[in-house]
Structure 1
Amino acid sequence: MGRDDDRGAASEVLAEFRALVDGADRKFALVRDLPPGARGPLQLLYFRKAFKAYTRLWQLQQRRRSELVSEGLCRWEIGEVASRIGQLFYGQYQRTSEVRFLLEAYVFYEAIMSRGYFQAAWGSVAPDLKLRYKELRFHVRFLIVALLLNRTDEAVKLADRFRALVDESKAAFSATNFREWKQVVQEISRFLKADAYFKIARPLRYNVIFDAHPSSFPYISRFYTSRVLRLKDALLTSYHRNEIKLAEVTLDTFRMIQCLEWEPSGSFYQVPVKQPSENGALNDQNEASGLIDINLAVDMTDPDLPPNPCKAIIYHPSVSKLIAATATICDELPSDGILLIYISSSGKTDCSVDFQKDVHGNSLNFSKAKHTTQASQKRENSLSHPAADNNPNLSSKIGHYLCLGSQGNGASNNLYPEDLVPFTRKPLFLVIDSDNSRAFKAGLSKLDLNITIHGAERGEASALLLSHEKPLFLSDTNVTSGGSQFTYFLTAPLQAFYQLIGLSSDIEPDVYSNAESLLSSALVEWEVLLCTSNSLDQVWAQILTDPFLRRLILRFIFCRAVLCLLRSTTGDSTVHLPECLPSLPDSVSPKSAVTRNHIHQLAERLGVLNHFHFLDSIRESVQSR
């Protein structure tokens, strides 16, 4: 009788567990389906409800673990709950940029892996395709978190394990096509190869030891007597055909994500290490054995650093989705805040290729594809510029946009500069990385009637960093194989310089360290020149106090100088040079003696002077130092 009562009680516990899982999953879906950039009370409410539901679920299986297992609870089900908690933490990191949430996600994911929750299922049950898909998705999520935390060794192990898992899956489920997962294997390989090009380089995050320049602090402090703006929010998106990406994280946005965060110090970045017990087995505490502690309330914030600016990362958005996210962020932007909008995209549509394929991979008829392209272009022109054919002054408007997606939907994926003008009621810092960046600098001529942002703001003057339209190649290696050249200069300038010149990634640490010191000296001097210039535009003056934006501006100066002084910059050199609006002072231009001296010293130290052209007076000045 007592045994029957125990079984009945255990059955009730299992039923309660299943009910809690269903409720928690519904709350999880509400958080997952929130639009990018959604913050504020509603987002926080949904997150708290979901987290409370999973906390209750987790605590139940901790207290009644033996009863649940006796009634048939599988280990992979505990792993699935832990994975959902990890996803909640990662999602909260994406919305708040608080690295403590990223660390919590890593703890759960690493514990799931170390305890083998998903792997353990295969020895006791028949192959389950849905369960295998869960395991594959878990590996990709864990890999992204490991890369964001700069745990490269762990990421390589995960990539190897994922590749082996896909091979095992093809053998276990021979009737299933794993082509999409094989494509993910290729994506991971490309991503890791590009990200690990320089093994000795330091992380991309802002490091107060390397990136802050104390000698310029007195000059920066003078700006605090007037209005100053701080980077509070950033919206990041990119779209290119065949771009390097991992799931929904492209290489360009991956670099920008880290570039806009502080590098934590001390033990803040440490994940608890598993301690072996006396018999040599791993201790189950703080692992996914059902005894993981949920540490949301634990203060893991680095007390020595200010909070990171919030970021909204939007993967392949439609124009309407991008505009909606921008509007949401602008509505909540504080009076002393500025919004950074980063867009990496081409101005060329996908339909410009000669051959297209259907969903089965079969080539479509070229003439049909060409006809479709022409029809799409005519439809776009008639919708966006109905008088273009009859008015020659308006014909130049055609093509002044960025393409955020396939042209299959006509002009719905084309982002025009005027689409962002309404948001200039708030301060904006725009970084446009595109082969059609001229779309955002049009309108500077009286004959150019295109609407652009600079000069058309509705209340606040905007700052713009615009990429060069054609990357330069000084070696057989395609520079774009490592992501966008302009973004690379903004996030890792010395590595971008190495790749541009074609220098080997197998670098002697001393040589790289000396080159880094020379670059740092250049950045310090440019920083002082900007802060002491009498011709510095107020747009730049009010944002120079922000360390993230100041670092982007200084790296832009370096990028522009390097590309301007290259010998291969021939013909129409403007397409090879980035621009900024409004203009920066002449004292930091590529033509200034200070700038040329610094580039000369760096090129000489790395033995690549032959790739640059310098005036004889510059050479003599450097040699006399």
Structure 2
Amino acid sequence: RLNEGSTNDNDDKLVQEFSHLLEKSKQLFNGLRDLPQYGHKQWQPHFGRTFDVYTKLWKFQQQHRVLLDKKYNLKRWQIGEIASKIGQLYYHFYIRTSETNYLNEAFSFYSAIRTRAYYSKVNREEKPDLMVKKLRYYARFIVVCLLLKKTKIMRELVGELNRQIDEYVKAYDPDDSLEWQLVLNEISTFIDIDNQLNIDQIPIALSYRLTNALIPPLPLGSEKILSNIQLYSVEEILIIGNYQDQIKFSE
């Protein structure tokens, strides 16, 4: 009985630790919204702390999954929510740094959510806010696929998002049904016109993705000239597009 009691105490401590990590991760993640949308001087420390907590939380639930299933009643959609938040962090690391490695990591986490069907039983919970989380996950995953040019997966996701929106509308008749339909229409339109330009009614595919193959080589002898010139590096770039009927889509 003593052993049983000590085991229960240890289990309770692990559940409390998980609850603490989960609450702390939510607080830190919500704090990211108060940061400026561009610039790099303020965001790095807060992002770093948030990422560390989510990494610890992710490993913790992996190590104690059976216990958390039993004692905490951990749902698969909750695991998916943690993975989704990590994917969002990686995506925003990419937005801030333009490092595509972060974008690939975001894709890995979003893809794992889909492969492991973490959100598959959300519809049974009968909670519209959980369905919204699922729809937002799809929208974010589509953005990442769009940036990585993973066209096949992206089109599959759009089809799945369409079905999920239909289920959401039929089940809850929500006030934001038109907004989600607009999201679906925007991404569908964006995919249809992406990299397409009509010249004399002839469609021409364009690519504005910067790759090594598209960068012209420096002329011979330029290294010696450049070595004697004080070089400057770009600190920040803010790109804005705004005109009537502009095709747009974001998470």
Give TM class, smaller chain.
0.7 to 0.9
Aligned equivalents of 1:238, 1:209: Cα separation in 2:
26
Deviation at 1:201, TM superposition (A): 4.8
Match of 2:83?
A: 82
Q: How does 1:191-230 map to 2 (within 5 A)?
A: 191-197=190-196, 201=205, 203-213=207-217, 216-218=219-221, 222=225, 225-230=228-233
Deviation at 1:191, TM superposition (A): 0.9
Given that 1:74 and 1:121 are in contact with CA atoms closer than 8 Å, whether structure 2 keeps it comes out as no
Given that 2:86 and 2:106 are in contact with CA atoms closer than 8 Å, whether structure 1 keeps it comes out as yes
Match of 2:165?
A: 166
| Letter in structure 2 aligned against 1:181 | W
Deviation at 1:218, TM superposition (A): 3.8
Structure with greater strand share of residues: 1
Q: How does 1:395-406 map to 2 (within 5 A)?
A: none
| Letter in structure 2 aligned against 1:70 | K
Match of 2:46?
A: 46
Deviation at 1:200, TM superposition (A): 8.7
Deviation at 1:240, TM superposition (A): 3.0
Match of 1:453?
A: none
TM-score (norm 1): 0.36
SS in 2 for 1:37: coil
Deviation at 1:100, TM superposition (A): 1.1
Aligned CA distance change for structure 1 residues 132 and 217 (closer, same or farther; 3 Å) = farther
Aligned equivalents of 1:126, 1:209: Cα separation in 2:
49
Q: How does 1:334-345 map to 2 (within 5 A)?
A: none
For structure 1, which runs of at least 5 residues remain unmatched after alignment? 249-625
| Letter in structure 2 aligned against 1:209 | A
Aligned CA distance change for structure 1 residues 219 and 186 (closer, same or farther; 3 Å) = same
Given that 2:195 and 2:205 are in contact with CA atoms closer than 8 Å, whether structure 1 keeps it comes out as no
Deviation at 1:202, TM superposition (A): 7.0
Aligned equivalents of 1:4, 1:176: Cα separation in 2:
50
Q: Residue deviations 1:41-71, cap 9 Å, x none?
A: x422111211111122112111111000112
1:59 aligns with 2:59: yes
SS in 2 for 1:204: coil
Match of 2:247?
A: 244
Match of 1:95?
A: 96
Aligned CA distance change for structure 1 residues 202 and 100 (closer, same or farther; 3 Å) = farther
Aligned CA distance change for structure 1 residues 205 and 78 (closer, same or farther; 3 Å) = same
Deviation at 1:20, TM superposition (A): 1.0
| Letter in structure 1 aligned against 2:210 | Y
Q: How does 1:315-464 map to 2 (within 5 A)?
A: none
Aligned equivalents of 1:3, 1:202: Cα separation in 2:
67
Deviation at 1:156, TM superposition (A): 1.0
1:113 aligns with 2:114: yes
Deviation at 1:99, TM superposition (A): 1.1
SS in 2 for 1:186: helix
Match of 2:200?
A: none
Match of 1:146?
A: 145
Match of 1:557?
A: none
Aligned equivalents of 2:11, 2:229: Cα separation in 1:
68
Aligned equivalents of 1:80, 1:183: Cα separation in 2:
24
Given that 1:14 and 1:68 are in contact with CA atoms closer than 8 Å, whether structure 2 keeps it comes out as yes
Aligned equivalents of 1:196, 1:161: Cα separation in 2:
23
Deviation at 1:78, TM superposition (A): 0.7
Given that 2:15 and 2:68 are in contact with CA atoms closer than 8 Å, whether structure 1 keeps it comes out as yes
Deviation at 1:238, TM superposition (A): 2.4
Aligned CA distance change for structure 1 residues 3 and 219 (closer, same or farther; 3 Å) = closer
Aligned equivalents of 1:222, 1:156: Cα separation in 2:
48
Q: How does 1:297-308 map to 2 (within 5 A)?
A: none
Deviation at 1:208, TM superposition (A): 2.7
SS in 2 for 1:235: coil
Aligned equivalents of 2:206, 2:222: Cα separation in 1:
27
Aligned equivalents of 1:8, 1:111: Cα separation in 2:
33
Given that 1:17 and 1:57 are in contact with CA atoms closer than 8 Å, whether structure 2 keeps it comes out as yes
The percentage of counterpart residues that share the same residue type is: 31
| Letter in structure 2 aligned against 1:207 | T
Q: Residue deviations 1:139-158, cap 9 Å, x none?
A: 11111111111111111111
Aligned CA distance change for structure 1 residues 235 and 210 (closer, same or farther; 3 Å) = closer
Aligned equivalents of 1:64, 1:157: Cα separation in 2:
33
Match of 2:74?
A: 73
Give the RMSD, CA atoms, in angstroms.
2.6
Given that 1:170 and 1:176 are in contact with CA atoms closer than 8 Å, whether structure 2 keeps it comes out as no
Match of 1:18?
A: 19
Aligned CA distance change for structure 1 residues 47 and 219 (closer, same or farther; 3 Å) = closer
Aligned equivalents of 1:57, 1:223: Cα separation in 2:
48
Aligned equivalents of 1:209, 1:48: Cα separation in 2:
33
Given that 1:150 and 1:203 are in contact with CA atoms closer than 8 Å, whether structure 2 keeps it comes out as no
Q: Residue deviations 1:468-518, cap 9 Å, x none?
A: xxxxxxxxxxxxxxxxxxxxxxxxxxxxxxxxxxxxxxxxxxxxxxxxxxx
